[in-house]
Amino acid sequence: MTKTVHAVDLMMSVKQVIKLLTHYNVSGAPIVDNLQNVISVISEGDTLKLAAMPGGMDKLIGACLDHLPKTANLITTRAQNSFADVYKQFLHHPFHRIIVIDGNGKLVGLVSRSNILRLLVETPKTKPKK
């Protein structure tokens, strides 16, 4: 899980989101409200579509929520869920990232496909013998 997540807030413009995604070389990010509750997610593809709309680059993300995934449709997981549970979610959904939330829906982190792939090939660290 990646704990340092570059989230988008409702007062950011589409242009600012594009700059965030390109600066950090990420393909998408969760959208959070001022209490860090996850309310949607935005991808590179979403920003392309929003930018093409009239006034798109200057539109605030809060005004674009009707064009983005609804909270009820987000695929999320909890930090305490097992690797196997998260892995299964990736097998059943074509997403690039799964948002990790706490019990109140607040952003905790993010699990990407690359996180999962790294774990599949990493050698488990062995505990020192006593």
In this predicted structure, the answer to whether residue 126 has a pLDDT above a threshold of 70 is no
The tens digit of pLDDT for each residue in 10-24 reads 999 999 999 999 999
pLDDT at 129: 62
The tens digit of pLDDT for each residue in 43-89 reads 999 999 999 999 999 999 999 999 998 887 888 888 888 888 888 88
In this predicted structure, the answer to whether residue 127 has a pLDDT above a threshold of 60 is no
> What is the separation, in whole angstroms, between the first and last Cα of the chain?
30
- Where exactly are the structural domains of the chain? 8-121
pTM over 0.85: no
Q: What is the band of 120 on the pLDDT scale with cuts at 50, 70, 90?
A: confident
The tens digit of pLDDT for each residue in 102-114 reads 888 899 998 888 8
| 8-121 to CATH, choices 3.10.580.10, 3.50.50.60, 3.40.920.10, 1.25.40.10 | 3.10.580.10
